[in-house]
Amino acid sequence: MSVNYSAGLSPYVNKGKCGLPEKQDDHLILKEKASKLADLIKSSKVVVVHTGAGLSTSAGIPDFRGPTGVWTLEEKGETPHFDITFEQAVPTFTHRLLVEMEKVGLVHYVISQNVDGLHLRSGFPKDRLAELHGNMFTQKCQLCAKEQVQDHVSPTMGLKLTGQKCEALKCRGRKCRGMLTDTILDWEDALPDDELDMSEKFCKIADLSIVMGSSLQILPAGNLPLLTKKNGGKLVIINLQPTKKDKSADIRIYGYLDDVMQMVAESLNISVPPFKKPTICLRSSHSLPQFPIPTKKRRLTKTRTSNQTDTKSETNNDVTAKSGSKSNSKSDVIAKAVIKSSNGNEPDVNNTTENIFVKQESLDLKFSAPLIANEEIVQKDN
């Protein structure tokens, strides 16, 4: 499928400000800011990363509001062209760095607005990842609520039936056979409750929130970093274009993400291995932090957009949403994922668990699913 997934969404007028000019810091200034960011990361107990379309541009996936973004070109009456598919795209340096930083306890949660699946395919733990707008490579069963991670993108968008059936095994060895839907949100669809709740919890206890490649125009995701500031934490924004949250940033970095994060990796003395194959990690080896007991109900809106604009929150041209749309809860995803691909060959595995169903179809696609500690589900090389 083309990386222009937005063409499959419902028509929507208010897509925010597109085509804002980009800015780049001088190399010496960039290096100084990257060093300060590395120091903040080392001194922080909880670090949350917020990622947007700018993270995946170096993988060949275009952004939306950049000078040559999909929606920017559409506003000009031009047709965007793409030379890559979601299946062909591979995780960028920054994707892979985040995996290594999570392993050593320097990143604790990632909140992404991207649907390209590169975080998950890079091996970032699923229970430390909130994909608020969905994932092109996952489908969810309407019957058992388990989620399948596949080697190909879903044929539908907007939480629609994909035409496929769930092959997760029940307690007596029978297949579930429930109908699968995609996980991609359309404009009016509600964000997944569990992932939004966990995102808010992490942001509230974080010492540091880092925004990577997002203009923060889509709400509620765009307001999540401010929860860290409100609770006394630091905010760093890395984006070539200006954002409405720039005044709240403790460090504002204008630069290409991979360039900035390579400097950060050097300061942190972290080496990043090259990408070899898609790796699905279900659980982090680190335990969850202690969250305070909530005293108030969540105030953030749960839907991504609306046909009617909320004038109070739209004064800064943020794209917001009304509440009350259907919920897209993902309560049973972790440790109950289904990893599936396309011609029915069962892989050799060196460990199996009760809640994991593995089916390998594509000979050149090999999944590794680390669970707790050193338990793994790995397809052996032929």
Catalytic site positions? 133
> DSSP label at 378?
B
HSE-CB at 1 with a 13 A cutoff on CA atoms is 18
Q: How many CB atoms lie within 10 A of CB 27?
A: 11
DSSP H helices, the chain, are 27-43, 70-75, 93-103, 118-121, 193-205, 224-230, 257-268
At position 20, the amino acid (one-letter code) is: L
d(CA 19, CA 242): 11
Given a contact cutoff of 8 angstroms between Cβ atoms, the answer to whether 336 and 146 are in contact is: yes
Tokens of 261: 């994060």
CB 97 within 8 A of CB 210: no
Q: Cα dihedral sign for 122, 275, 69, 37?
A: positive
Question: 34: exposed, middle or buried (C-beta count within 10 Å: 0-12, 13-18, 19+)?
Answer: buried
Read off the amino acid at residue 65: R
> What's the token pair of residue 79?
């047709």
Q: Given phi > 0 = left and psi -120 to 50 = alpha, else beta, which region is 225?
A: alpha
Distance of CA 305 to the CA centre of its chain: 18
DSSP alpha helix (H) spans, 122-223: 193-205
C-alpha span between 353 and 90 (Å, rounded): 28
* DSSP letters spanning 303-345: BS--SS--TTTTTTT-B---S-SPP---TT-TT--EEE-SS-B
Tell me the HSE value of 310 on the side-chain side, using a 13 A CA sphere: 16
